[in-house]
Structure formats: C-alpha cells, structure tokens
C-alpha cells in the first residue's frame, strides 16, 4: 500500500481490526463481537486475500486444506461425484467459512470446494489456525460454538432437502437458498443438491412459476409469493403472518429448522395464499384431485 493504514485511538490498525471482526462473525455470528482487541489482532494478522475464478477449486479434496477460507463475495459449492453423477451437498455465500473442520480432525474433506462464480476470500493459513486454537482460549471457544452451529444447520438442511416428496423438497430448497428473495443458482445445481435429474426440477419450477410463486430467469429464480411457497414446502400452517423469518434470506438463517405440520400436497400451492383474504381466494392446484401430475416424481433418487 502507498500509505500507512488508518489507526484507532489505541494505535491499532483499524482496517485489520475490521477484517478480523468480520472473520469472527463469519465463524460464530454475533458471538464474534465478544472477542477482545488483542484476540482480533491475532486473528487478523495472518489473514490474506485470495481470488477464485469461476470453476476453480479452493483446495484439493484428497488432502487436508492449506487453511481456513472466509468468503467475502461470490459463492462456493461443495460437490462430490463425477460428471452426471455429481451431487452438490451445499452452497456457501458471502460471510461463510469452510476448511476449518477438516483441519481440526486432520482428514481430507468429503467434498470438492469449487467457486460457482468469481469469488473473493480471505484465507487463514493452517499453521496460524492451529496456533490460535492452542494459544487463544477465547478464539477456541468461539470456534467451538461456530462449528456446533454449522453442524446443527447442516443437519437441518439435510432433512429439508431429503425428506418428503420432490415438490416439497424443491420448495424448501428455494427458501433455504434465497438471498434477498432471489436464488442465484442454475437449475442443474439445484437438481444436484436434490439428487435428481434437472428435468424433474424444471417441471416443478415451471409449475411454481405458472401459479405465481416464483419468476424464472437465467441462473436466477425470484421468489414472488413466499407464503405460498412455504405452504408448498409443508413447513407452515394456515394463518401464518409475514415475519422476519420470511424475509427472503434463507428459510432458517439462524439455524431454526422448519417445523413439520404434516404432509402438504399440491392443493396447498396457491397464487395468493394470504390469511387476510379468507375463502374468497380461489385455491389453484398443481394437478388433478389435489395431487401432482402422474408424470411428476414424488421423490428423487437418493445417492450415497
């Protein structure tokens, strides 16, 4: 840099503290704000920026990663399997972290972390990560809480995408992957996350669009009726009001999985499913007799 970084009243680099505070929040959310300045500096000093081109691997899946990765912008997919058998286990976005768990347990990851779009990251080298855990108890406690939270959310996500008919699972996945009301993923990635063929997902998405739940675009799906989509997912009872949980930033961003209110078939997919309109709103079904069309699969093939 051509000039010295700005400094705070305590003569600490403000830019470094800002990056470290952001990284701490990536690890453990709001709990990251509890770190003292000296712990933040210890976390921030080893961080260095890295750019991933679309399609580039962050690290090889056949050995432990070279560091912990923090996503500043862009998106990263966790995928396994070759070609047409590829399954996307998870998508990560800005503000999320990966690579730490394989380093903690000393094993290669079961996935290939690949940038799905041009992605900016910060990387904490493996040696610095281990030193922080061994010498900074506050950081170690923070990381423990963060890993536990991510484990909980991953279990909830697994139940969301694997349990129930494909129509429900597709609706849940759209809600879980939405950011600001939009899912920025191609249909083949959504199909890989659900473990089914793209054509099966495309048929359901076309149904959702026809009934006004979503709007389809190139690598982009806009959620236009979140309440109706929640009903299609089987995750909300009649009479629900709009809440912060329906803000369009993921179905359970704080790790709260959707509750099961019984099986919801296609008769619950309405164009305007709002409680204040009562029975005056006609209910529009995706198939005859309240069932999906016969050609529509009710569950995807599950891959190991």
Query: pLDDT tens-digit profile of 76-85?
Result: 999 887 766 6
CATH of domain 163-290: 1.10.10.10
Mean pLDDT of 240-255: 38
Domain 14-158, architecture per CATH: Sandwich (2.60)
Residue 167 in tokens: 């129509």
DSSP string across 53-82: -TT-BSS-TTS--SEEEEEEESEEEEEESS
Q: pLDDT confidence of 180, banded at 50, 70, 90? A: confident
pLDDT band at residue 14 under the 50/70/90 scheme: confident
Quick check: 285 pLDDT over 90?
A: no
Per domain, the residue ranges of the chain are 14-158, 163-290
């Amino acid at each position: 840099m051509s000039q010295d970084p700005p400094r705070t009243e305590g003569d600490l680099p403000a830019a470094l503290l800002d990056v470290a505070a952001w990284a701490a929040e990536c690890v453990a959310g709001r709990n990251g704000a509890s770190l003292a300045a000296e712990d933040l500096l210890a976390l921030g000093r080893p961080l260095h920026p890295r750019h991933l081109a679309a399609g580039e691997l962050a690290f090889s899946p056949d050995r432990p990663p070279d560091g912990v990765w923090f996503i500043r912008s862009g998106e990263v997919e966790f995928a396994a399997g070759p070609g047409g058998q590829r399954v996307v286990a998870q998508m990560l976005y800005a503000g999320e972290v990966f690579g730490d768990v394989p380093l903690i347990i000393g094993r290669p990851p079961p996935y290939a972390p690949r940038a799905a779009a041009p992605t900016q990251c910060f990387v904490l080298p493996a040696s610095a990560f281990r030193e922080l855990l061994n010498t900074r108890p506050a950081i170690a406690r923070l990381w423990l809480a963060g890993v536990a939270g991510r484990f909980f959310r991953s279990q909830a996500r697994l139940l969301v995408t694997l349990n129930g008919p494909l129509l429900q699972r597709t609706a849940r996945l759209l809600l879980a992957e939405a950011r600001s009301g939009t899912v920025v993923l191609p249909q083949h990635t959504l199909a890989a996350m659900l473990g089914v063929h793209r054509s099966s997902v495309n048929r359901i998405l076309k149904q959702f669009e026809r009934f006004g739940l979503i709007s389809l675009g190139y690598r982009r799906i806009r959620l236009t009726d979140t309440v109706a989509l929640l009903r299609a997912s089987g995750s909300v009872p009649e009479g629900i009001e709009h809440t912060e949980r329906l803000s369009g930033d993921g179905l359970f961003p704080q790790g709260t999985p959707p509750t099961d209110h019984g099986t919801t078939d296609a008769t619950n997919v309405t164009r305007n499913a709002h409680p204040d309109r009562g029975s005056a709103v006609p209910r529009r079904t995706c198939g005859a007799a309240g069932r999906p069309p016969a050609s529509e699969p009710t569950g995807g093939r599950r891959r190991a």
